[in-house]
């Protein structure tokens, strides 16, 4: 089943065509990589999918629904969440409260019910706190839950941002360079975590990443961009042996052992 389809989208910034008729599709349950050199248009595609940009032409569909011109909040409510290359956290808040903020955005209690503190509001609040605790345990964040997010090392900040995205109960998770700034051990741990997240929460994942070892080891399929155009698509093995991809990366893509 095609979960997300991007069909011939074009994005212009003044006289610059940043994305030029890019097309790809992701099957439900896949981890799909979107890669390319700096300036290839990867984050611009992300911003089109999440509603921060509206393409000049082309269509984006999620679960068969046209989302091309929806607002970011409308797209988020349909079940699409994202992380950013630089962790976007409430830095003065505790790690736990960062996740609770995301979960509270999904509560469906009415304003008057909350104002009068009706019993079912208290029940829902307890449920949210229990779910936040479960999520932090799953992510290995219980020991730092009371620490300010801004005081955490980068690896834990990125894990916390993953938790906040998962707190939105997404169906499709977009990850923008989740391994940026991580060391080799942290990147290996991230790879295993992404498999666990996909399986535990039944998610489909779209990943932008420069760490080719990570991409080749966890992605089912990969789309490659260069100068705003798609130059290759296929399995990791097909992509890493594609002459156009090798040329675009100046030979930087090397074989990576499959898990």
Average pLDDT, the chain: 88
Mean pLDDT, rounded, for 3-32: 96
The residue among 90 and 145 whose pLDDT is bigger is 145
What strands lie across the sheet with 65-66, from one edge to the other? Answer: 16-27, 2-13, 57-62, 65-66
- CATH 3.40.50.300 in the chain, residues? 1-79+170-259
Mean pLDDT, rounded, for 200-222: 95
* CA distance linking residue 146 with residue 88, whole number of Å: 18
Q: Which residues contact 54 (CB under 8 A, 6 or more apart)?
A: 48, 68, 69
The pLDDT score that the predictor gives to residue 129 is 86
The residue among 168 and 55 whose pLDDT is bigger is 55
- pLDDT tens digits for 145-191? 999 999 999 989 999 999 999 998 999 999 999 999 899 999 999 99
Domain 1-79+170-259 has CATH 3.40.50.300: yes
Position 138 pLDDT exceeds 80:
yes
Position 116 pLDDT exceeds 50:
no
């Amino acid at each position: 089943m095609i979960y997300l389809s991007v069909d011939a989208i074009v994005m212009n910034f003044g006289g610059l065509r940043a994305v030029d008729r890019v097309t790809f599709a992701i099957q439900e349950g896949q981890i799909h990589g979107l890669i390319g050199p700096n300036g290839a248009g990867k984050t611009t595609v992300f911003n089109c999918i999440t509603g921060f940009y509206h393409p000049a032409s082309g269509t984006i569909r999620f679960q068969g629904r046209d989302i091309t011109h929806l607002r970011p909040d409308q797209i988020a409510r349909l079940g699409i969440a994202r992380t950013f290359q630089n962790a976007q956290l409430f830095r003065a808040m505790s790690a736990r409260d960062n996740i609770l903020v995301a979960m509270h955005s999904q509560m469906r209690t009415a304003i008057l019910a909350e104002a009068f503190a009706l019993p079912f509001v208290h029940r829902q609040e307890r449920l949210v706190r229990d779910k936040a605790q479960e999520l932090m345990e799953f992510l290995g964040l219980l020991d730092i839950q009371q620490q300010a997010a801004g005081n955490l090392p980068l690896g834990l900040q990125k894990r916390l941002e993953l938790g906040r995205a998962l707190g939105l109960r997404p169906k499709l998770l977009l990850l923008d360079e989740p391994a940026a700034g991580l060391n080799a051990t942290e990147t290996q741990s991230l790879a295993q975590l992404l498999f666990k997240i996909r399986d535990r929460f039944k998610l489909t994942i779209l990943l932008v990443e420069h760490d080719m070892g990570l991409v080749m080891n966890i992605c089912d399929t990969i789309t490659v961009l260069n100068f705003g155009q798609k130059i290759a698509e296929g399995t990791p093995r097909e992509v890493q042996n594609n002459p156009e991809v090798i040329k675009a990366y100046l030979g930087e893509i090397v074989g990576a052992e499959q898990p």
